[in-house]
Amino acid sequence: MSLSSVKRLGKRIIEYPEETVAVASVTEWLRPLFSNPTKRVKAYFLSLFPILSWITRYNLGWLTGDLIAGLTVGIVVVPQGMSYAQLATLPPQYGLYSSFVGVLIYCFFATSKDVSIGPVAVMSLTVAQVIKNVQTHHASENFTGPEIATALAFICGFIVLGIGLLRLGWLVEFISAPAVSGFMTGSAINIAAGQVPGLMGITGFDTRAATYKVIINTLKGLPGTKLDAAWGLTGLVALYAIRYTCLKLERRFPHRARIFFFISVFRNAFVMLILTLAAWLYCRHRSVHGKYPIKILLTVPSGFKEVKQPTITRKLISALGPKLPVATIILFLEHIAISKSFGRINGYKINPNQELIAIGVTNTIGSCFGAYPATGSFSRSALKSKSGVRTPLAGIYTAIVVIVALYGLTSAFFWIPTAALSAIIIHAVADLVASPAQVYSYWRVSPLEFFIWVAAVLVTIFSSIENGIYTSISASLALLLLRVARPRGAFLGKVTVRPSSGSTVDRDVYLPLTKDGITNPYVKVEAPSPGVLIYKFEESYVYPNAHIVYTAIVDYVKANLRRGKDMSNVKLGDRPWNDPGPRRPGDYEIEQSANLRKPILHALVLDFSTVSHIDTTAVQVLIDIRTEVEKWADQPVEFHFAPILSPWIRRALVAGGFGIGIPNHGFTPDLASVVPYHEGRLSSQSSKDDLEATGDGKKRQSGTVELEPVVPLDTPFFHLDLGAAVRAAESAVRRATPLI
């Protein structure tokens, strides 16, 4: 059997249409993916190290900005790192390890100059909950907190690294901004509530429980407040006093705003220094068997004495398994949200996939230095941005500050009061709480997203951070599916408008017949010519919403257009069960009289301007719509589409028998057999608007200008714009109407 015979046999088996038009092919789609693979592979590996694109142009101006920003962030990250380690129920040196590795490694992979990687409040609290969960449910294994934390950093970092390498960063886009804000607000309230007992020296209950329980127990424990409150409350008041005083002075003396800004920046270090000195003066002679009147940090090992490979065993991985999803989500979600925010503010674009690679590498390498999971910090990133950072290389100067602290200041850390660390945490997480103006903006823009924000906050407060983030993600996805599955659509009419008072050129626009969205009540929307319907989609046309469109169009046609077949002469027994007709015989004449007053459907125009995707189910439903309305009208009905933006939508519609004008052979169409359309192609007049309005003038040798159609002539039912489609549909009505 020859090759041509095999091809003919294959075409018969798949019912390949004999008459075809040019459509997009899979080969055309695959060709760019495999063209010049060497160049693409090289570009991929170069993209893994963005530093190579700008390091050769590094100059003294950039160095000055990076040095100031790096040192400034370093002074802040040292006390914050130890505070967050305390929040994670880890020794303070682990916060410094995470701070050092985060800022050092990130600069080589970053696409954001502003983001500062290191310990953050939400991730630290999550680590504390993971440690508690593993040690509670696997007590016999004797896993230590640092072992659990470093293993968590390695596994989560490896997962995020894989997501980045596979270029799956677009998954982050499925979580809306209000959902992230609600989760962050609830988490900040959770963290602050858990730190208040430490601030006041109150003990005797679990500060990692649900927020409302912690608040209740804190109120009950107020009579048991200890001397630690003198340091904690003093530190918190001082932090806010310095901050707001500097803000007022900046506004009053704008020419010295830079000085007041740096004074405000150093408030953490200044307050910590004063409180540590006060704790040393008060406690140095009041030790009883190694215990002091207030709780202090005690010995902090210098250097990297905890550096070793992470403990990764099957039992530990199994124990961490239930908590890995939430830890991984927090790791990349917070970082991507922060990096996008600062990129938007400072006028550059980040690469989400590369950012995932950056934090993935940072955490996998950091686990070998004893670091626990680190991600982008909002407060330190804001500080870095305001300090005038120029490139990601500022992280190296921050790392130098952390190294100096690790090797030269650990003996002074002994006297740091833990209440002061709690004050720093409360002060830092307060910035994560959404402002009333921001929350109100959610309500104004989208009330549904406002309720998502409320749900995320309430679940985080009354349950846990884990359930809060799952609620945020689930609600975001549910809202997205709701919008896709329940799209708005409308039947359109025409309004003639004039662009400006001085213009004499009018144009037609198409608006909903129900006047939805028309603010001027005196604007009259004219229905299209009798027998023509215009329907506009407001979403992509895919399987979740296909039946909604079917119901809208078919129900409208049956309610407003004439039934082609006279049912008054049809016996009751011959009528379908779902259309038995009037109950009384005399009502048949009334039914037929009302039916004759309605116009006959000749053409349906579908506005595809907002449709970017269409699938098999949707095309099949379009075929079903055509079958049902033609059955109702008892005659062929033209389907016009405008505009077809994607060649793949054109391909799908052609596969369903639309656009090409092939006769319908009288059987129920089915997508699998590529149903032919009804008789004849449109006349040259029907597509004239598309040809003349969209032609690309090309001057020939003879000096004449010819018009090239943008919409191919072999698909005359596809139009460049809605106006051309309506005019073509109306011409079909004129052709079908007999002259009197």
Provide the pLDDT for residue 571.
67
Mean pLDDT (10-residue bins), the chain, 740 residues: 75 68 75 77 86 92 93 92 94 94 93 93 93 91 92 95 90 86 91 92 86 92 92 95 93 90 90 94 84 90 87 92 92 89 88 93 94 92 90 94 93 92 92 91 92 93 89 90 87 81 74 73 84 90 91 92 77 67 66 83 92 91 93 90 87 87 48 38 44 46 56 78 86 67
Residue ranges of the alpha helices (H) in 387-464? 394-408, 410-413, 418-429, 436-445, 447-462
Provide the pLDDT for residue 585.
62
Distance from C-alpha of 160 to C-alpha of 574, rounded to nearest angstrom: 65
Provide the pLDDT for residue 101.
93
Dihedral of the alpha carbons of 81, 86, 87, 93, in degrees to the nearest 10: 40
CATH topology (fold) of 489-564+593-672+707-736: Transcription Regulator spoIIAA (3.30.750)
Instruction: Write down the residue that tokens 């996939």 correspond to.
Output: 353
Dihedral sign of CA atoms 601, 602, 607, 608 in order: positive
* pTM of structure: 0.81
The residue among 232, 221, 203, 237 whose CA lies nearest residue 296 is 232
517: left (phi over 0), alpha (psi -120 to 50) or beta: left
Distance from C-alpha of 728 to C-alpha of 637, rounded to nearest angstrom: 13
CATH 3.30.750.24 placement within the chain: 489-564+593-672+707-736
Provide the pLDDT for residue 421.
93
Tokens coding 390: 């120029």
